[in-house]
Amino acid sequence: MARASQSEEGKAAFLKHKEQTEGQIERLQQVFELLGKPARGKTCEAIRRPRLSSTTRLRATAP
């Protein structure tokens, strides 16, 4: 999505969000290790198909 951004500000925002998300994932993995539990994840539809998700949200919020 950062590559598709029309502005440098938009691109920077997407990249910053990606870095923050990766940091959160890393911290969660550490917590699960401390608890001795396996960290499992489930990829949501919005991650697999972001364009569909964006379109759906736009339609849902349109007047």
**Nearest-angstrom CA–CA distance, 54 and 31:** 32
Asked if 17 contacts 6 with a C-beta cutoff of 8 angstroms, the reply is no
Predicted pLDDT at 26: 93
Looking at the whole model, is its pTM more than 0.75?
A: no
Predicted pLDDT at 48: 73
Every domain of the chain and the residues it spans = 8-61
Predicted pLDDT at 35: 96
Predicted pLDDT at 20: 95
Q: What is the pLDDT along the chain (63 residues), one digit of tens a residue?
A: 667 777 888 888 888 988 999 999 999 999 999 999 998 888 777 777 766 555 555 555 555
